[in-house]
């Protein structure tokens, strides 16, 4: 009987039977209809038999009938009993056990199953493409749950057929399948099967198709899982899938994980709360095996790097997740769910805070990562802190915007522009927009005053909560000082005319055990401690290890191929320091109070900017720019701004040596402020600009870019620049000296007046 059914299946499914003249096609359609009307019971008998060949032949026949067109497909859907108990068994993949044969070892047998035929029968309804039929047939759980739950064990052709058909017929934008039905179709078990396929490194294009389907299902609210406008979604299934992904081993899984958390901070916070990877390296066998799989991708086969790189990757993964969070959506979510209770108590708010600093990354863990002896762990930790600070800055900026909008609706008068001009020296406002708090006239506030005050209280609450989890600013300063002290390019020790304004002089004749920490891999062991035999044994592999380290650095920071370190560890260290500058910049912006009076950042200015890369120069000047903005309104750091003229020489070198517009503009602003800090120009910008006209290179000349034009110009006019800097420094020193004398004179006069009054 199975041979007859197979023959009918081949005839009805042959392409010639569909493309021949109408008369032939009608005859074959009539034959197919008669099978459905008269022989369906016989097909049931074949399906209920225990012979897989008979079952497969019956299913192939039904599939060939359905594929002939919508009319016959609807007829089969109407007459066929989808509640047959045997259907659940037909979708399983049976394996024939090994059978022993006397004297000849084992006969492995063949794999026999009706699953392939079952899948073709189920998918044939979807291939027809009738929207009404599609919505009805997808509700037959016994059919499609069996198809999708065993998909990971199917051959490549079957998987491609199923996923491509679902992609083109069900998941497309104009599909009439409702989101609720799509979510049932792609349940938790189906999502797990698709993740197994996408994570199979040997699957090739099959894995790519599974990944594309997962992206559509998990990120598009119309597919029923991701919450959206008016759609509840199913976050439980999404979270279950996120927990099962292996982003430390599979690139598709990492991409999918980041796509899910993007714009859904609540999913991000829950995942971070249960972060599945260990941050502390250990010697367990399973941990080392997982580590090796990851390292194999990067060709890092040296045992001494295993633990550190894996820990760095765990931090890098969290950094990627943090960087995908949509701050505007997060703030909107907070205020959308806070109408009936205090905002500071809402679950949404605490969810956003977990996105910035996950619970797994406590302050001790981050401090340990920043001060780790391995450069890769330090890079990963530093990027985590940088992304967290960026996210915190965006969150505070969005909240400040809401506060300003709320105040504006009340009809209050803002004096922000005037206060900016009062609190910042001239020259700073011309090239940058300052994020200053609005100073609002408090008369005649509208009834929304309570809401505005709650927003301000919320901002203060967020600042205190996050800053308590971020590393202590002294850790960043320690990284900065240590890395600068090890390189002559940037030194914290300035010439004699650059006194320390805000930082106490550290002892140089005594070593501090607490400071003896390897920073950026720069600290070197004494020569007598190094084992000569070990050094010779490792000399062959040291170059390869450095290359592998740079590969991981590229991955941690997601650098493009245009970024080149020239295979030099010095370049990697310089890049690390530039990122330390970025972290300090955002720290000053989000935690200004923590840095008051702690360090004079102008002391890290190099004498020759040409020794730094372009990115390094930009990061350094941006840090100084932020430092000036912060110090302008701070009493503790006011002395550093008043003494800016003492750093005029290196700032002028930046101005005349750089052909990059951003660097030139920032240096120009800082040089103007340094001139103003002398108090000699009466804050007259025009007079200062007139002095700049005499500086070589002040007006950029593209011809100087060629060859050593910049360096030659700098050397030729060094006397002119030195004269201007000495003149400005002398004026500033004398002026402040006169002011100190006048101050002392007034104090003496007041004291003498008091004595006279007491004597009278």
Q: What is the pLDDT of residues 131-156, one digit of tens each?
A: 888 888 888 877 888 899 889 989 99
Find residue 41's DSSP bridge partners.
none
Q: What's the rounded Cα separation, in Å, for the pair 99 and 694?
A: 96
Give the DSSP H or E segment for 54: helix 52-66
Q: pLDDT: is 212 or 513 the higher one? A: 212
459-517, pLDDT tens digit by residue? 787 778 777 778 888 888 888 887 666 554 444 444 434 334 333 334 444 433 333 33
Which pLDDT band holds residue 289 (cuts at 50, 70, 90)?
very low
In this predicted structure, the answer to whether residue 530 has a pLDDT above a threshold of 50 is no
Beta strands in 427-514 (DSSP E): none
3-state secondary structure of 228: strand
In this predicted structure, the answer to whether residue 75 has a pLDDT above a threshold of 50 is yes
In this predicted structure, the answer to whether residue 361 has a pLDDT above a threshold of 50 is yes
Q: pLDDT: is 449 or 437 the higher one? A: 449
What confidence score (pLDDT) does residue 659 get? 78
Burial call 333-348: b when 16+ CB within 10 Å, e when fewer: bbbeebeeeebbebeb
Quick one: which of 458, 256, 435 has its CA closest to 343? 458
Range scoring the smallest mean pLDDT among 107-116, 252-261, 386-395: 107-116
Q: What are phi and psi of 100, to 5 degrees?
A: -75, 135
In this predicted structure, the answer to whether residue 637 has a pLDDT above a threshold of 80 is no
Give Rg (Cα) of the chain: 36
Which pLDDT band holds residue 200 (cuts at 50, 70, 90)?
very high
Task: Name, in order, each residue with C-beta under 8 angstroms of 24's C-beta and a sequence gap of 6 or more.
Answer: 17
Which tokens go with 37?
């009307």
Q: What are phi and psi of 107, to 5 degrees?
A: -105, 115
Quick one: which of 198, 202, 170, 205 has its CA closest to 186? 170
What confidence score (pLDDT) does residue 249 get? 83
> How many Å from the N-terminal Cα to the C-terminal Cα in the chain?
134
What confidence score (pLDDT) does residue 586 get? 92
What confidence score (pLDDT) does residue 434 get? 34
Q: What's the rounded Cα separation, in Å, for the pair 122 and 404?
A: 58
Which pLDDT band holds residue 562 (cuts at 50, 70, 90)?
low
What confidence score (pLDDT) does residue 545 get? 57
Q: pLDDT: is 686 or 530 the higher one? A: 686
Pick the CATH number of 1-93+109-129 from 1.20.58, 1.10.287, 3.40.1350, 1.25.40: 1.25.40
pTM: 0.65
Give the DSSP H or E segment for 100: strand 99-100
Which pLDDT band holds residue 458 (cuts at 50, 70, 90)?
confident
Q: What's the rounded Cα separation, in Å, for the pair 195 and 238?
A: 12
Under the phi-then-psi rule, with left for phi > 0, alpha for psi from -120 to 50, and beta for the rest, what region is 649? alpha
Q: pLDDT: is 679 or 20 the higher one? A: 679
Beta strands in 391-462 (DSSP E): none
What confidence score (pLDDT) does residue 302 get? 24
Q: pLDDT: is 408 or 278 the higher one? A: 408
Q: What's the rounded Cα separation, in Å, for the pair 87 and 99?
A: 28
Share of the chain above pLDDT 90, in %: 16
Cα angle for residues 743, 749, 752 (degrees, 5° grid): 145
Quick one: which of 365, 374, 207 has its CA closest to 277? 365
What confidence score (pLDDT) does residue 459 get? 79
The answer to whether the CB of 477 falls within 8 A of the CB of 444 is no
Q: What are phi and psi of 106, to 5 degrees?
A: -115, 140
Which pLDDT band holds residue 336 (cuts at 50, 70, 90)?
low
Question: Residue with structure tokens 């001009």?
Answer: 421
Task: Name, in order, each residue with C-beta under 8 angstroms of 82's C-beta and a sequence gap of 6 or more.
Answer: 140, 142, 143
Give the DSSP per-residue string, 128-195: H--HHHHHHHTT-HHHHHHHHHTGGGS-HHHHHHHHHHHHHHTSSTT----HHHHHHHT-HHHHHHHH
Expressed in percent and rounded to 5, the helix, strand and coil fractions of the chain are 65, 0, 35
Q: What are phi and psi of 110, to 5 degrees?
A: -125, 155
Domain residue extents for the chain: 1-93+109-129, 150-261, 472-503+543-603+612-630, 643-760
Which tokens go with 495?
């010439």
Average pLDDT over residues 527-548: 47
Which pLDDT band holds residue 582 (cuts at 50, 70, 90)?
very high
How many helices (H) and strands (E) would you count in the chain? 35, 2
Task: Name, in order, each residue with C-beta under 8 angstroms of 411's C-beta and a sequence gap of 6 or more.
Answer: 444, 446
Range scoring the smallest mean pLDDT among 92-96, 319-323, 439-443, 600-604: 439-443
Average pLDDT over residues 33-50: 91
In this predicted structure, the answer to whether residue 441 has a pLDDT above a threshold of 50 is no
Which tokens go with 395?
């969150």
Angstrom distances, CA of residue 197 to CA of 182, 192, 521: 20, 9, 41
In eight-state DSSP terms, residue 428 is S
Which pLDDT band holds residue 529 (cuts at 50, 70, 90)?
very low
Burial call 128-144: b when 16+ CB within 10 Å, e when fewer: bebeebbeebbebeebb
3-state secondary structure of 669: helix
The answer to whether the CB of 119 falls within 8 A of the CB of 154 is yes
Alpha carbon 33 to its chain's center: 58
Angstrom distances, CA of residue 241 to CA of 136, 193, 664: 27, 10, 50
Which pLDDT band holds residue 378 (cuts at 50, 70, 90)?
confident
In this predicted structure, the answer to whether residue 746 has a pLDDT above a threshold of 60 is yes
Range scoring the smallest mean pLDDT among 197-206, 585-594, 689-698: 689-698
Work out whether the CA dihedral 519, 521, 525, 527 comes out positive or negative: negative
Q: What are phi and psi of 507, to 5 degrees?
A: -75, 140
Which tokens go with 177?
């399948």
Average pLDDT over residues 669-681: 84
Average pLDDT over residues 201-214: 93
Q: What's the rounded Cα separation, in Å, for the pair 546 and 595?
A: 35
Average pLDDT over residues 173-199: 90
Give the DSSP H or E segment for 106: strand 106-107
Q: What's the rounded Cα separation, in Å, for the pair 503 and 493?
A: 12
What confidence score (pLDDT) does residue 428 get? 46
What confidence score (pLDDT) does residue 347 get? 56
In this predicted structure, the answer to whether residue 341 has a pLDDT above a threshold of 70 is no
The whole-chain average pLDDT of the chain stands at: 72
What confidence score (pLDDT) does residue 141 get? 79
Q: What's the rounded Cα separation, in Å, for the pair 68 and 81?
A: 20
Range scoring the smallest mean pLDDT among 41-55, 436-450, 468-482: 436-450
Question: Residue with structure tokens 């951003």?
Answer: 662
What confidence score (pLDDT) does residue 699 get? 58
Average pLDDT over residues 708-720: 65
Which pLDDT band holds residue 436 (cuts at 50, 70, 90)?
very low
Average pLDDT over residues 585-606: 83
The answer to whether the CB of 262 falls within 8 A of the CB of 225 is no
Question: Residue with structure tokens 């590969």?
Answer: 551
In this predicted structure, the answer to whether residue 579 has a pLDDT above a threshold of 60 is yes
Quick one: which of 213, 219, 210, 321 has its CA closest to 276? 321
496, with CB counted inside 10 A (0-12, 13-18, 19+), is: exposed
Which tokens go with 62?
């039904």
Which pLDDT band holds residue 304 (cuts at 50, 70, 90)?
very low
Range scoring the smallest mean pLDDT among 262-271, 430-439, 619-628: 430-439
643-663, pLDDT tens digit by residue? 788 888 888 888 887 778 888
Give the DSSP per-residue string, 34-103: HHHHHSHHHHHHHHHSS-HHHHHHHHHHHHHHHTT-HHHHHHHHHHS-TT-TTHHHHTS---PPPEE-TT
In this predicted structure, the answer to whether residue 666 has a pLDDT above a threshold of 60 is yes
Q: What are phi and psi of 633, to 5 degrees?
A: -105, 15
Q: How many residues does the chain have?
A: 760
Which pLDDT band holds residue 174 (cuts at 50, 70, 90)?
confident
Q: pLDDT: is 284 or 620 the higher one? A: 620
Share of the chain above pLDDT 70, in %: 64
The answer to whether the CB of 91 falls within 8 A of the CB of 82 is no
Average pLDDT over residues 151-168: 92
Burial call 56-95: b when 16+ CB within 10 Å, e when fewer: bbbbbbbbbbbbbbeebbbbbbeebeeeeeebebbbeeee
């Amino acid at each position: 009987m199975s041979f007859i059914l197979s023959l009918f299946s081949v005839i009805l499914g042959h392409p010639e039977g569909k493309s021949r003249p109408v008369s032939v096609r009608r005859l074959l359609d009539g034959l197919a209809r008669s099978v459905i009307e008269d022989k369906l019971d016989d097909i049931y008998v074949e399906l209920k038999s225990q012979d897989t060949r008979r079952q497969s032949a019956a299913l192939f026949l039904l599939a060939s009938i359905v594929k002939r067109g919508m009319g016959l497909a609807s007829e089969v859907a109407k007459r066929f009993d989808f509640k047959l108990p045997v259907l659940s068994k037909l979708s399983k993949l049976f394996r024939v056990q090994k059978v022993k044969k006397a004297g000849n070892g084992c006969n492995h047998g063949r794999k026999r199953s009706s699953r392939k035929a079952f899948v073709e029968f189920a998918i044939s309804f979807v291939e027809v493409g009738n929207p009404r039929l599609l919505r009805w047939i997808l509700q037959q759980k016994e059919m499609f749950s069996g198809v999708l739950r065993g998909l990971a064990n199917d051959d490549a052709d079957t998987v491609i057929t199923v996923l491509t058909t679902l992609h083109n017929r069900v998941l497309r934008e104009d599909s009439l399948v409702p989101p609720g039905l799509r979510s049932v179709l792609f349940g938790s078990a189906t999502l797990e099967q698709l993740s197994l396929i996408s994570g199979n490194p040997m699957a090739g294009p099959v894995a790519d198709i599974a990944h594309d389907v997962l992206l559509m299902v998990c990120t598009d609210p119309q597919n029923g899982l991701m919450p959206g406008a008016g759609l509840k979604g199913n976050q439980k299934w999404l979270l279950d899938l996120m927990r099962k992904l292996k982003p430390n081993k599979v690139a598709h899984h990492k991409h999918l994980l980041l796509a899910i958390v993007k714009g859904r901070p609540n999913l991000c916070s829950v995942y971070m709360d249960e972060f599945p990877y260990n941050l502390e390296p250990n010697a367990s066998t399973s941990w080392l095996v997982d580590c090796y799989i990851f390292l194999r991708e990067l060709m890092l086969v040296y045992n001494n790097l295993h633990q550190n790189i894996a820990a760095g990757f765990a931090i890098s993964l969290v950094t990627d997740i943090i960087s995908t969070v949509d701050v505007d959506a997060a703030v909107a979510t907070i205020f959308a769910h806070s109408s009936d209770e205090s905002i500071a108590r809402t679950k949404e708010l605490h969810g956003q805070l977990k996105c910035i600093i996950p619970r797994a990354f406590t302050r001790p863990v981050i401090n340990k990562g920043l001060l780790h002896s391995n450069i890769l762990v330090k890079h990963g930790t530093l990027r985590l802190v940088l992304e967290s600070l960026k996210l915190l800055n965006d969150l505070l900026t969005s909240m400040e915007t809401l506060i300003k909008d709320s105040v504006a609706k009340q009809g209050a008068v803002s004096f922000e522009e005037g206060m900016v001009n009062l609190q910042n020296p001239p020259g700073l406002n011309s090239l940058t927009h300052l994020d200053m708090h609005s100073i609002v006239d408090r008369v005649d506030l509208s009834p929304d005053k309570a809401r505005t005050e709650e927003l301000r209280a919320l901002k203060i609450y967020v600042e205190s909560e996050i800053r308590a989890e971020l590393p202590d600013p002294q850790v960043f300063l320690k990284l900065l000082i240590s890395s600068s002290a090890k390189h002559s390019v940037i030194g914290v020790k300035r010439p004699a005319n650059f006194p320390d304004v805000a930082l106490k002089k550290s002892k140089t004749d005594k070593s501090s055990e607490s400071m003896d920490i390897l920073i950026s891999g720069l600290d070197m062991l004494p020569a007598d401690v190094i084992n000569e035999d070990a050094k010779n044994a490792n000399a062959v592999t040291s170059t390869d290890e450095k290359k592998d380290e740079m590969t991981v650095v590229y991955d941690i920071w997601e650098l493009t191929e245009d970024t080149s370190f020239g295979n030099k560890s010095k370049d990697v260290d310089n890049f690390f320091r530039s990122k330390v500058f970025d972290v300090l910049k955002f720290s000053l912006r989000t935690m200004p109070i923590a840095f008051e009076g702690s360090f004079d950042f102008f002391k890290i200015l190099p004498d020759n900017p040409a020794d730094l890369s372009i990115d390094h120069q930009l990061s350094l000047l941006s840090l100084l720019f932020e430092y000036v903005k912060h110090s302008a309104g701070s009493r503790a750091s006011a002395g550093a701004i008043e003494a800016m003229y003492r750093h005029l020489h290196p700032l002028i070198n930046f101005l005349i040596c750089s052909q990059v517009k951003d660097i030139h503009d920032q240096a120009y602003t800082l040089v103007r402020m340094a001139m103003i800090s002398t108090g000699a120009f009466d804050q007259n910008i025009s007079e200062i600009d007139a002095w700049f006209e005499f500086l070589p290179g002040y007006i950029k000349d593209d011809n100087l870019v060629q060859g050593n034009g910049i360096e030659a110009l700098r050397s030729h006019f060094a006397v002119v620049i030195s004269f201007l800097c000495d003149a400005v420094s002398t004026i500033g020193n004398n002026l402040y000296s006169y002011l100190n004398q006048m101050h002392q004179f007034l104090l003496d006069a007041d004291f003498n007046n008091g004595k006279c009054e007491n004597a009278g």
